[in-house]
Amino acid sequence: MALVVQKFGGTSVGSIERIRNVARRALATQKAGNDVVVIVSAMSGETNRLLALAQEMAKIPDAREMDVVAATGEQVSAALTAMAIHVEGGEARSLLGHQVKILTDGAFSKARIKTIQGTKIFDTLKKGRIAVVAGFQGVDENGDITTLGRGGSDTTAVAVAAAIGANACEIYTDVDGVYTTDPNICPSAKKIPRISYEEMLELASLGAKVLQIRSVEIAMKYGVPVHVRTSFSDAEGTWVTGEDKALEDVVVAGVAYEKNEARVHVVNVPDKPGIVAELFGDIADKNISVDMIIQNVSREGQDRANVTFTLAKTDLARAKNFIEEVAKRLGASGVRYDEDVVKVSIVGLGMRSHAGIAAKMFRLLANEGINIQAISTSEIKVSCLIHAKYTELAVRTLHDGFIGNK
Ligand code: ASP
Ligand code: MG
């Protein structure tokens, strides 16, 4: 007998008929001899609709009230799912964040879970019922309703699974698993049967938006096996698990790309201690994360350098003014921007033990005449910044070069 958490995303609970399917699946799992906890998202499109309503009411809606509005989407689908289970002849109880109690900090719209009490869930299971928990929502120390950020039901699911010691956390979504790259631009992309937490984190943060990043961090911390799969068939999806020998042998597990990158070029700053510290210190103070950084060496006889870095395209507009201000203060001769860039990355545990992976990546891109504008690496990842017009070509070339085109 196992304890299973099943999370259903917006499309899986997108209609009355689909909620009935969720109920049937949860009941079948229970009949097979398991205790079942279901976590549900809001019906697809609902959270967007709710946020738009709030925005219509007030340009800058009150953060506390915004979360009260946003959390209703999951309240509706949790209760409808419990009803569907009743209709199918089973027993279930819906539980909201404050009822479970999923205690979070007070950061409205991006709250982080502090603790989860298992008692209410266990009491429900003991009575032979399925516990249906509303995803995405929690409660802070003041008793105020909070939400966990977009895609936060994944995090509810994994955190609940960790808290109650579930044997597995199934994430039912509208794709049938995690792919080696985006199948929309690379026809040879393949479903990955098993991937490590660490690789998944790199792929998630690089733009493979299957799981909320936070949920993978929690799964890794508590060793929760996560199974990403589709609710439209019984096919196995992708298991996200701890590392082992078989996973370590895979040199490149996936190829990702991120379009939300912009390049900033600060020209002719004095080449002396403290300059980049001041530049990036000021940027960090504004809560803007910088990704790739390059500082070239100054030309002989000139004590000047150029500093190039990337940040999220979506942060560029608000960053421009003060970057120009700092640049001026530091004595730079100018600032240039480039938004026609994309970051392509290869990710794999096997990179730790294989040499020449970065060199092969550069060679593959060079063979296609693709210029590399910036490079960054970590133990299990190499990223290159290239012109956006080469995105598809680069992804296909790297995918087929490292993973294969069959
Ligand atoms: N309903 C929330 C959202 O749309 C949370 C989730 O679906 O995971 O972001
Ligand atoms: Mg999601």
Report pLDDT digits (tens) over 104-156.
Answer: 999 999 999 999 999 999 999 999 999 999 999 999 999 999 999 999 999 99
Cβ contacts of 233-237, under 8 Å, gap ≥ 24: 233/176, 235/176, 236/177, 236/193, 237/176, 237/177, 237/178, 237/191
- pLDDT tens for 383-392 read 999 999 999 9
- Closest ligand 1 atom, CA of 151? 8
Per-residue exposure over 341-359, b if at least 16 CB sit within 10 Å of its own CB, e if not = bbbbbbbbbbbeeeeebee
Q: Rounded CA gap, 100 and 103, in Å?
A: 9
Centroid of ligand 2 to alpha carbon of 154 (angstroms): 7
Which is the closest atom of ligand 1 to the Cα of 156?
8
Report if pTM > 0.75: yes
Interval 257-303: pLDDT, tens: 999 999 999 999 998 899 999 999 999 998 899 999 999 876 666 78
State the distance from the centre of ligand 2 to the C-alpha of 138, rounded, in angstroms. Answer: 17
pLDDT-based confidence at 207, cuts 50/70/90? low
Compute, in angstroms, the gap from residue 150 CA to the centroid of ligand 1. Answer: 5
Average pLDDT, the chain: 95
Q: Which residue has the tokens 């000047």?
A: 304
Q: Hey, what are 382's tokens?
A: 């190499």
Binding pocket residue ranges, ligand 1, CB within 6 Å: 9-10, 41-42, 47, 73, 135-136, 150-154
Conformation bin of residue 283: beta by default, left when phi > 0, alpha when psi is -120 to 50: alpha
236/197 Cα distance (integer angstroms) = 18
